[in-house]
Amino acid sequence: MKNKSPLQSLFVAAVCASLFATESARAFPEPSRVPTSWELKFVYQTPKRIVVEVPGEPVPKAYWYMTYTVTNTTDTDQQFLPVFEMVTRSGTVIRSDRHLPTSVFQRVQQATGNSLLEHPIKIAGTLRVGADQAKDGVAIWEETEAEMGSFSIFVAGVSGESAKMNDSAGEEMLDKDGKLVLLFKTMQLDYTVSGDEVFPGNDPISKTHQRWVMR
């Protein structure tokens, strides 16, 4: 059998890459360019770091928080059930507001100077139509890494768009209970923290990317 020439090998590699991309596209659907379902107006602020003295803890603990305003600009009331997840550069996924001491929320509310800031648990529920019904909320994560470097925040619950998850053969995927695996339109925010972390909380935080993904 003759060996393939470099040009033939390159062609084969290109074809394989194209097929892989096609299969990946089938398995991981992309959000519609034009909204196909209800979508809330979600305005957020740059995440910030805060250190809080938590009752029962021997030393102060560091947290990250992101404030936001959510407005229902659709023509009907919607259920606002947000899910915020932070993914660190090491791949650790942190769900916001888990086991959140009341003192931490109170400290964040004090730091923002916003007395209308709603507790992460209490903000969930019916969001009525109109700018006058907008709500101010906050997502809070416990810091798990001393040097953040870069991280992403995923915001789910601000769009009603969903899609079925398919495997590489194009078949619908089922979970362990036999139910369809659904992906939901989610906002992805990517950030970098500049500096050497000598003064945590004072290093500049920059947003590097924002996009919609199915997750």
- Number of domains forming the structure of the chain: 1
Q: How is residue 75 written in tokens?
A: 């023509």
In a domain, 1, yes or no: no
Residue-number span of the structural domain to which 89 is assigned: 31-214
- Which residue is it, tokens 């990250």? 64
In a domain, 53, yes or no: yes
**pTM for the whole structure:** 0.80
For the residues 59-77, what does the mean pLDDT come to? 96
With CA atoms as reference, report the closest residue to 139 among 127, 154, 160: 154
Positive or negative CA dihedral for 166, 170, 171, 172? positive
User: For residue 7, what pLDDT is reported?
Assistant: 47
In a domain, 17, yes or no: no
pLDDT of 159 > 50? The answer is yes
Bridge partners, 183 (sequence order):
163
For the residues 172-190, what does the mean pLDDT come to? 82
In a domain, 199, yes or no: yes
Strands 135-142 and 41-44: unpaired
For the residues 33-50, what does the mean pLDDT come to? 92
DSSP for 2-64?
PPPPHHHHHHHHHHHHHHHHHHHHHHSPPPPSS--S-B-EEEE---EEEEE--TT-SS-EEEE
In a domain, 118, yes or no: yes
- Which residue is it, tokens 């947290």? 63
In a domain, 18, yes or no: no
In a domain, 73, yes or no: yes
Select, from the ranges 74-78, 95-99, 160-164, 177-181, the one with the highest average predicted confidence (pLDDT): 74-78
In a domain, 8, yes or no: no
| 3 state SS of 215 | coil
Select, from the ranges 24-28, 88-92, 175-179, 186-190, the one with the highest average predicted confidence (pLDDT): 186-190
DSSP for 90-105?
T--EEETTTT--HHHH
